C-alpha cells in the first residue's frame, strides 16, 4: 500500500494527485496495478477521486485550488526564467534551478519563487552575500520573486539528508542555467532512485541553458580568485551564521535541528527559519499513524 505515501505527502500541501503522479512519486513497480489499487482505496473511502485527481478528503475546493495554482504557475514561469537568468550572471554562480512549489507546477498569491543555486568551490558565501545585498538594496529585501535560500558548492554536490522531503525536492527541481554542474549534481545524488525509482529528474536537463557571464562578472571573479577571496568567503560565512544564531535564538531549536534549518558550512547554505523539512516529516508520520489507527494500514515511518 506504499502508493498511499505520495497521496499523504502531497495532502500536507493540499495538492491532489493524478494516477500518473502517484506512480511517479511511489516505489510501485507494476504500473498496471495502480488503478485497481486506487479504485479499491476509493471504494473503501480511504481516499477520494474527483475528476482525474485522488485526494485524502472529499473536497472539490482542493481540486479547484490546484487547477488555479497550475494556471498561475504557467503564467509566472516567464518571470521565474528571467530571474534565474539574472541570478546566473552573478559572480561565482555555476548553476541556477527552480525549487519549491513552482517546481511542482503550483503557484499562488501567497507564494514566492524559490531558487536552488550551485556556486564555485570556496566562493559560496561570496556569491550568496552579493545576491543577498542585491535583494536588500534593489528589491527592498522582498523575497517574492527572489527567494535565494539554498546554496551548494560545486565540489560538494551530494545532499546529506536523505528522506522523502529531500528526495521529492531533488526530483522536482527544475535546472535552468548551468555548464555541467547539474549533470554532476544528479550523478552525486543517484540515491534518489532508491526512494523514488519511478521519477527521473534528469529529464529536466533537456531544457538546461548555458551560463553566459558578462565581462564585469568575469573581472570580479578574477579579482576574488585569490587568498582575498578565500578570506572573504570564510568571513561572510562566520558573520552570517553568528547573525542567524542571534536572530533565531527564540525558535529554541536544538543544535541538530538548527544545523538542518540553517546549515552553514563552506559548501552549503540553507536558510529555513521554520525548520520546514523537520515539520513536514513529522506531519507526514502523523498521517501514517492516523492511517494505521483509522484503517489498519501500516506504513513505514519517515526520518528527517
What is the pLDDT at residue 202? 63
Task: Kindly state whether residues 261 and 234 are assigned to the same domain.
Answer: yes
Residue 108 lies in a domain: yes
- Are residues 113 and 174 both part of a single domain? yes
Domain with residue 54: its CATH number is: 1.10.10.10
Structural contact between residues 83 and 174, judged by C-beta atoms closer than 8 angstroms = no
pTM, rounded to two decimals: 0.92
Question: Do 245 and 139 reside in the same domain of the chain?
Answer: yes
Q: Could you read off the pLDDT of 154-184 as tens digits, one per residue?
A: 999 999 899 999 999 999 999 999 999 999 9
- 102 and 54 in a common domain: no
In a domain, 66, yes or no: no
Q: Which residues of the chain have pLDDT under 70?
A: 202-203, 249-261, 272-274
Cβ atoms of 67 and 105 closer than 8 Å:
no
Instruction: Tell me: do 35 and 83 sit in the same domain.
Output: no
- Regarding whether 86 and 27 lie in a shared domain, the answer is no
Does residue 303 lie in a domain region? no
Tally of domains within the chain = 2
The answer as to whether 213 is a domain residue is yes
What pLDDT does residue 149 have? Answer: 86
pLDDT in tens, 105-129: 999 998 899 999 999 999 999 999 9
Write down the pLDDT at residue 29: 86
Domain assignment present for 68: no
Q: How many residues does the chain have?
A: 304
Q: Are 95 and 234 in a shared domain? A: yes
- Residue 128 shares a structural domain with residue 52: no
Tell me, yes or no, whether 201 and 100 share the same domain.
yes
- Are 191 and 218 in the same domain? yes
Q: Which residues contact 251 (CB under 8 A, 6 or more apart)?
A: 258, 273, 275
Whether 82 and 182 map to the same domain: the answer is yes
- Quick one: 191 and 233 in the same domain? yes
In a domain, 63, yes or no: no
pLDDT of residue 30: 84
Whole domain around residue 124: which residue ranges?
A: 75-273
Q: Are 28 and 18 in contact (CB under 8 A)?
A: no
DSSP string over 213-275: --HHHHHHHHHHSSHHHHHHHHHHHHHHHHHHHHHTGGG---HHHHHHHT-BSSSEEE--TT-
Question: How much is the pLDDT for 26?
Answer: 94
In a domain, 164, yes or no: yes
Residue 212 lies in a domain: yes
Amino acid at each position: 500500500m506504499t502508493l498511499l505515501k505520495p497521496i499523504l505527502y502531497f495532502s500536507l500541501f493540499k495538492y491532489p494527485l493524478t494516477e500518473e503522479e502517484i506512480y511517479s512519486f511511489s516505489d510501485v513497480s507494476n504500473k498496471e496495478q495502480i488503478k485497481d489499487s486506487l479504485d479499491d482505496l476509493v471504494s473503501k473511502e480511504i481516499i477520494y477521486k474527483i475528476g482525474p485527481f485522488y485526494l485524502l478528503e472529499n473536497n472539490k475546493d482542493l481540486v479547484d485550488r490546484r487547477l488555479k495554482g497550475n494556471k498561475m504557475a504557467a503564467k509566472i514561469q516567464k518571470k521565474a526564467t528571467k530571474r534565474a537568468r539574472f541570478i546566473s550572471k552573478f559572480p561565482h554562480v555555476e548553476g541556477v534551478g527552480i525549487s519549491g512549489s513552482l517546481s511542482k507546477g503550483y503557484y499562488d498569491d501567497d507564494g514566492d519563487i524559490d531558487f536552488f543555486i550551485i556556486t564555485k568551490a570556496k566562493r559560496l558565501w561570496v556569491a550568496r552575500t552579493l545576491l543577498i545585498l542585491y535583494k536588500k538594496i534593489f528589491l527592498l529585501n522582498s523575497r517574492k520573486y527572489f527567494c535565494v535560500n539554498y546554496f551548494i558548492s560545486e565540489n560538494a554536490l551530494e545532499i546529506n539528508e536523505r528522506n522523502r522531503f529531500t528526495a521529492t525536492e531533488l526530483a522536482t527541481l527544475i535546472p535552468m542555467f548551468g555548464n555541467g554542474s547539474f549533470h554532476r549534481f544528479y550523478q552525486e545524488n543517484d540515491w534518489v532512485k532508491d526512494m523514488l525509482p519511478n521519477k527521473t529528474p534528469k529529464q529536466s536537463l533537456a531544457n538546461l541553458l548555458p551560463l553566459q557571464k558578462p565581462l564585469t562578472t568575469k573581472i570580479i571573479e578574477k579579482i576574488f580568485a585569490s587568498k582575498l577571496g578565500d578570506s572573504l568567503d570564510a568571513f561572510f560565512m562566520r558573520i552570517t551564521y553568528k547573525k542567524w544564531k542571534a536572530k533565531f535564538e527564540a525558535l529554541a531549536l536544538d543544535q541538530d535541528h538548527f544545523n538542518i534549518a540553517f546549515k552553514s558550512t563552506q559548501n552549503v547554505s540553507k536558510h529555513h527559519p521554520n525548520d520546514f523539512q523537520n515539520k513536514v516529516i513529522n506531519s507526514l508520520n502523523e498521517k501514517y499513524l492516523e492511517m494505521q489507527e483509522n484503517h489498519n494500514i501500516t506504513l513505514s515511518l519517515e526520518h528527517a
